[in-house]
Amino acid sequence: MAVDPKEVKRRATQVVRQLKKDYPDAECALHFSSPLQLLIATILSAQCTDQRVNMVTKDLFKKYPTAAHFVRVRLATLEKAIQSTGFYRAKAKNIKACCQQLVDEHDGQVPEDLDALVALAGVGRKTANVVLGTAFGIATGVVVDTHVGRLSHRLGLTAARPKDAVAVERDLMSVLPRREWIDFSHRMIHHGRQVCGARKPKCDACSMRSFCPQVGVEG
């Protein structure tokens, strides 16, 4: 079925307006105090809850405050420290390789550039968008995690499959003003956790029920 671009943009405006009302102070759930910490926390968050990541990074960032510290730590030691986040061997390897690149190519600092970020070990477009948007306030794209993908599909903002993050992001970038890209993701994630769950969305309690087409939602 054909989708009217004007209708999608109109609904996107409604979604943005309502999310602002519901979650005016929404921000990244990962705890960090520097771009490096956010970068590492985001790498650790793959297939892991933000709550678990925050528990792990609380001590991790005290022990290893800079990229150089992560370069020097033994791989086995780092693996043990992050084991509870899952896929810890691959994550530890990527963190060490990423930090080595930061030390060798960027004086130990996280670059404020999309291409430079995605060139780092363990960093894809989603992670780069998180770091650039949340740590630097640079809107290079829309962060699409499982919540954003699911809600964007249900709200009719994209015809792409919820798990196709690249396609979902492309559609969202076409209907959302750039100034909204960063906060939109934070607010959608909050809404996905609190109201529009994967298995049992609370449609009756949703503030967007009057205009949500509920695509794919079983009534």
Give the catalytic positions in this structure. Answer: 126, 145
DSSP annotation string for the chain: ----HHHHHHHHHHHHHHHHHH-TT---SS--SSHHHHHHHHHHTTTS-HHHHHHHHHHHHHH--SHHHHHHS-HHHHHHHHGGGSSHHHHHHHHHHHHHHHHHHHTT---S-HHHHHTSTT--HHHHHHIIIIIH---SS----HHHHHHHHHTTS--S-TT-HHHHHHHHHHHS-GGGHHHHHHHHHHHHHHTS-SSS--GGG-TTTTT---TT---
Q: Are 51 and 31 in contact (CB under 8 A)?
A: no
- Alpha-carbon distance of 120 to 153, in angstroms, equals 30
Distance between CA atoms of residues 42 and 205, nearest Å: 31
How far is CA 4 from its chain centroid? 28
Q: Can you tell me which residue has the tokens 């809600």?
A: 151
Q: Which amino acid is at 45?
A: S
